[in-house]
Structure 1
Amino acid sequence: MILTETGEVGVHVGDSVYVLRPSLYAMTQIGEPAKIVEVYATVMFDGLEGRAADDQFADALMVIHACSEEDLCDVFGCYDEQLRYKSGAADPEHVLPLARCLLRHGVTGVQKPLPRRADDEPEFVREFVARDHVALAVAHLGVSEREAWQMTMTSLVGALRAKFPPAPDQSPGARAPTKEEHEATEEWFARIEEKRRKRTLH
């Protein structure tokens, strides 16, 4: 069974079905807490070209591979030792939108945004510490640590909202990203890309 509502994606290739699960554990396979946020910002950014677009594709492919315990090189492709991309059975154009879907379910959670007070300032998180969310699940949901690591942020936020209904700004797991927060993430990434570009030129 593939739990699409919590973020699982089933990929059918011939007679085989590969399940991608953006669990809290899978997110740690992307890198350290700050790296996860950087990859999120990179993959979600629109309109990249040239080398920046190539780096974005590489990050998106890494996200997909992180969300499966199986070898997906024959499905989505891989980079060889010379860092040349070798495609798989899937269309490379599917890599970026699929990675974006997985990251939303794995990092922010896909839930209906809760109302916010007018004086609430957008909050930008620079690190995604999966272990903190695991501890939250163990403490409040009565699940084992192993079960908590297999939860996605979508399933975690949904469960915590059910157990701790609004006031939303005080409920554990209630912080869903707003449009302003997403725009702040894009602005932050644009600054990073500009710094990278200047370093390349020098």
Structure 2
Amino acid sequence: MMSVLTQIGEIGIHAGRDVLLRPSLAAMSGLGEPAEIVDAFARVMAGDLADCVAVLYACADEDVSDLVGTFEAREGGGPLRYAAGALPVEHVVLLAQSLVRHGVVGVAKEQPRPADYKPEYMREFDAREHAALAMAHLGLTEREAWNMTMTGLVAALRAKFPPSAKDSPGARAPSKEELDASMEWFEKVEAARAAKEGVH
């Protein structure tokens, strides 16, 4: 049984015990360097199980291996073997996709954009920069800022600074078009990488 706090993206899982998954800026920073976070986001959205498991681990403040599962070494080497946990694999994937949406891009109502607006590729997600933004503009402590999700941060910034102002902090959140453009760019890079590896 699961419940979702859609306002900020937290997910509560009830499976023998209660577990809170929070896609905070701190949790997202645990996925790697800024460019690696965007790559992980794309792989999670494509359903890569290893990355989905990593996201759930990062968003939990306790050991969730019994729920999410683990990757174990095979005898004689080779790729790691996935040992499932209590949650069905499809739930692990769906949970991870919801968490990274709220943690990296923020889930908020799309705002009007200028007619000449062109989305840019989002190649990095700098959690530290967003935490600093929350401290500077919302008066949060460092701990409070790092515990925010992007959904919560975008909502708070838009409430304080109407996003109609082009340079407002609320306008810095990536748009759906930017996310789509980033996904297209990532898919092209992955296809080129796969083609290159296939030659050798």
Distance in 2 between residues matched to 1:13 and 1:164, nearest whole Å: 40
Structure 2 counterpart of 1:91, one-letter code: P
Q: Deviations over 1:131-173 (max 9, x none)?
A: 1011111111111001100000011111111111132432203
What TM-score, normalized by structure 2, do the two folds share?
Answer: 0.89
* Match of residue 83, structure 2, among 81, 86, 90: 86
* Match of residue 142, structure 2, among 139, 145, 152: 145
Question: What is the CA distance between 1:102 and its match in structure 2?
Answer: 0.3
Question: What is the CA distance between 1:87 and its match in structure 2?
Answer: 0.3
* 1:39 maps to 2:40: yes
* Match of residue 174, structure 1, among 171, 174, 186: 171
Question: What is the CA distance between 1:3 and its match in structure 2?
Answer: 4.4
Equivalent residues of 2:20, 2:60 under 8 A apart: yes
Name the residue aligned to 2:77. Answer: none
Name the residue aligned to 1:68. Answer: 60
Name the residue aligned to 2:110. Answer: 113
What TM-score, normalized by structure 1, do the two folds share?
Answer: 0.88
With over 3 angstroms needed to count, the CA separation of the structure-2 counterparts of 1:148 and 1:39, relative to structure 1, is same
Name the residue aligned to 2:97. Answer: 100
SS state at 1:6 partner: coil
Distance in 2 between residues matched to 1:142 and 1:164, nearest whole Å: 14
Distance in 2 between residues matched to 1:99 and 1:168, nearest whole Å: 33
Structure 1 counterpart of 2:51, one-letter code: D
Equivalent residues of 2:25, 2:146 under 8 A apart: yes
Question: What is the CA distance between 1:66 and its match in structure 2?
Answer: 0.6
Structure 2 counterpart of 1:68, one-letter code: A
- Where structure 1 has 5 or more consecutive residues not aligned to the other structure, the ranges are 46-52
RMSD: 1.8
Question: What is the CA distance between 1:178 and its match in structure 2?
Answer: 3.7
Name the residue aligned to 1:30. Answer: 31
Question: What is the CA distance between 1:196 and its match in structure 2?
Answer: 2.6
Question: What is the CA distance between 1:67 and its match in structure 2?
Answer: 0.3
Distance in 1 between residues matched to 2:125 and 2:183, nearest whole Å: 17
Distance in 1 between residues matched to 2:179 and 2:145, nearest whole Å: 26
* Match of residue 11, structure 1, among 8, 13, 23: 13
Question: What is the CA distance between 1:177 and its match in structure 2?
Answer: 4.0
Equivalent residues of 2:57, 2:64 under 8 A apart: yes
Map 1:155-194 onto structure 2 (within 5 A): 155-194=152-191
SS state at 2:43 partner: helix
**How many residue pairs are counted as aligned between the two chains?**
192
Question: What is the CA distance between 1:198 and its match in structure 2?
Answer: 1.8
Question: What is the CA distance between 1:41 and its match in structure 2?
Answer: 1.4
Distance in 2 between residues matched to 1:179 and 1:158, nearest whole Å: 15
- Where structure 2 has 5 or more consecutive residues not aligned to the other structure, the ranges are 75-79
Structure 2 counterpart of 1:98, one-letter code: L
Structure 2 counterpart of 1:64, one-letter code: L
